[in-house]
Structure 1
Amino acid sequence: MYSRIAGTGSCLPKRVVTNDELSKTVDTSDEWIATRTGIRQRHVAGEGETTVSLSKEAALRAMSAAGVSPDDIDLIVLGTTTPNLIFPSSACLLQAELGIAGCPAFDVNAACSGFIYAMTVADNFIRSGSVKTALVVGAETLTRMIDWTDRGTCVLFGDGAGAVVLKADNETGILSTHLHADGSKKELLWNPVGVSEGFKPEEENAGVRVLMTGNEVFKHAVKALDSVVEEALEANGLDRHEIDWLIPHQANLRIIEATAKRLDMPMDRVIVTVDKHGNTSSGSVPLALDEAVQSGKVQRGQLLLLEAFGGGFTWGSVLLRY
């Protein structure tokens, strides 16, 4: 039994912030940002736009594309690091917004790998036979925890949500998923505020913001993504040249290009949205996937490799026949 992607959907906040706009408030420029990251603009959530509201619109579009109703959904898994509330989970809030009652609904927090982790969880539910139709969402409003005076991080992130409907299928779908984590590297990419440890304003790094050691993250990301790609191919007895599309986490164009080079894959077979979306964390991969589907690039029967790397560190891949 496989998990087949029956429909995709996405939603982006209305407000677009360009690099030129950022250069008016922080010491940067369009050229500086674009050269180092490939980012030209990002969407920023405004009043009334939340992780749940963006998730709802993305979910409704995915459900419409899949031809399913709220009554058909057996499971909701939402990948996010920016939930509306500490509890209830954003998945439960989304469940209520969609008018779905009774099925399990929960969040997965794996930073930028959140959607890959969430897909893996849903896939295992479907493979076990306990679920037939699952709604999987990756969504963030990460700009609400950005230090807008730190040009090393504020230029990178954006908001958005993407969703897929997975349905049980005995012929095609997700071939394998591969997840990893290394908590010993936490302080290379993290947010130092939590509930249990509390808020300590006397500490230098206190505050709800993203802290990152960019060069170290880059090195670890390229190595980890190379490894997890090889792991996916080896597990399925496939050659890298058999992959039709690479759909990577949209963190940095240089990381995407490095991964494609190691795969010996031309960039015209790589889905790139980082220039328009920035790094939307858990929303990144499903946003890129939906754009690829809506544009007609991704066609039924093609082999797709989805991969992501994020704070934790966490990383993973999903190899699937679309």
Structure 2
Amino acid sequence: MLRSVITGTGCCIPTQTKTNPDFLSSKFYAEDRSIIKIEPKIIIDKFQKITGIAERRYVSDDLNTSDIATIAAQEAINDSGIDMETLDMIIVAQNFGNVIKNTIQTDAVPALASRVKHNLRIKNPSCIAYDILFGCPGWIQGIIQADAFFKAGLAKKALVIGAETLSRVIDNYDRDSMIFSDGAGATIVEYKEVRESGSGILSSCSLSHCLEEAYYINMDASYYPESDSKIKYIKMKGRKVYEYALKHVPEAMKACLDQSGVDIMHLKKIFIHQANEKMDEAIVQAMYKLFGYTETPKDIMPMCIQYLGNSSVATVPTLYDIVLKGKDLDHSVNEGDVILFASVGAGMNINAVCYRI
């Protein structure tokens, strides 16, 4: 039988580390533009306790999103051993295009996928390059789209990338800015003949809630009272996002697993979007409760948010690459293991993919 199989992975983890103590001199303002009079250390300590984030990574001034996407892509290509010219598709999940350092202007023409193809020097005109904007679940949605193209007989080999430089669209006066980071993760996906118990995508699920939920994450002016209101930064209604995710993501994950026919007790790992440690833990616990289990396996959920922060579309492919290549001392996966990819983000959008390694 034919299945979509991940045959190569790669990531680009930026070299600049921004630790929580680096924010001690920050002045934070509330949504109503009033200064938050709590000591920065108290704010930061509470932030770390909730999110789990101790440090995050930012790109150097000379790099843009398409640059780190290219680095991750080349690593995935090398890992897979494919000839780049045989690629049918390049899908880049992103949300802000290239944002040039010290500006807030996004540059998405040409598409980042076109820039990646250019950077890789791929000549094949039948290799179609395009971007996808789907919030943080973008990379997983790219995987789902590649799988759909394969099943439709329109492609056999795809490069799917998630890349973002959120450090360039954050409001430094907003305490939520400490969540965000930069990074890129990439995968080669091929439509291959496998045995029934072999590797590949087993099922997928996607949802969009765009009524009251559409603007839970959006672009808006800085919280700093004297800022230019015409300049927009990424903003998030944290409580609304948490409540939304906890209500809907476990249901989507369960639907995906049910569709795959895999018993939850055979699930090895969950690679969930690295958004917030407490929220991710609550989502996984809620999913297990939907299956009738009161306890969650202690080793089910690898995490890298503690030292990489939330790099949006890059978190899941980066984490998968780290674990797959034995760079996480606490987690490992092996051939035949069933895993679940899951994410939630701006839109609001949710998705999940059940995959056998």
TM-score (norm 2): 0.84
2:116 equivalent to 1:98? no
- CA distance in 1: counterparts of 2:285 and 2:317, whole angstroms: 22
Per the alignment, residue 19 of structure 1 pairs with 20
- CA distance in 1: counterparts of 2:231 and 2:206, whole angstroms: 30
Paired residues of 1:241 and 1:265 also in contact (CA < 8 A): no
Instruction: Report deviation, 1:277.
Output: 1.1
Instruction: Report deviation, 1:177.
Output: 1.5
Cα offsets for 1:271-303 (capped at 9, x unmatched): 101101111111111111111111171222110
Q: Which has the higher helix share?
A: 1
- CA distance in 2: counterparts of 1:270 and 1:191, whole angstroms: 31
Cα offsets for 1:236-285 (capped at 9, x unmatched): 22222211010000000011111221224323221101101111111111
Question: 1:183 pairs with 205, 210, 215, which one?
Answer: 210
What SS does structure 1 have at the residue aligned with 2:5? strand
The one-letter code matched in structure 2 to 1:188 is Y
Per the alignment, residue 196 of structure 1 pairs with none
Further displaced range: 294-303 or 13-22: 294-303
Further displaced range: 106-115 or 169-178: 169-178
Note the residue ranges of structure 2 that are not aligned, 5 or more in a row. Answer: 29-39, 99-106, 289-294
What SS does structure 2 have at the residue aligned with 1:186? coil
Question: 1:57 pairs with 71, 76, 82, which one?
Answer: 71
- CA distance in 1: counterparts of 2:109 and 2:220, whole angstroms: 19
Per the alignment, residue 136 of structure 2 pairs with 112
Question: 2:251 pairs with 221, 227, 232, which one?
Answer: 227
The one-letter code matched in structure 1 to 2:88 is D
Instruction: Report deviation, 1:59.
Output: 0.6
Instruction: Report deviation, 1:226.
Output: 0.5
TM-score (norm 1): 0.93
Q: How does 1:311-322 map to 2 (within 5 A)?
A: 311-322=346-357
- CA distance in 1: counterparts of 2:167 and 2:236, whole angstroms: 15
Question: 1:86 pairs with 108, 112, 124, which one?
Answer: 108
Further displaced range: 231-240 or 25-34: 25-34
- CA distance in 2: counterparts of 1:203 and 1:155, whole angstroms: 19
Cα offsets for 1:126-163 (capped at 9, x unmatched): 22222121100000001110001111x21100000000
Paired residues of 1:260 and 1:267 also in contact (CA < 8 A): no
What SS does structure 1 have at the residue aligned with 2:78? helix
Instruction: Report deviation, 1:225.
Output: 1.1
Paired residues of 1:257 and 1:267 also in contact (CA < 8 A): no
Per the alignment, residue 91 of structure 2 pairs with 77
Further displaced range: 183-192 or 105-114: 183-192
CA RMSD in angstroms comes to: 1.8
What SS does structure 1 have at the residue aligned with 2:168? helix
What SS does structure 2 have at the residue aligned with 1:2? strand
- CA distance in 1: counterparts of 2:172 and 2:184, whole angstroms: 22
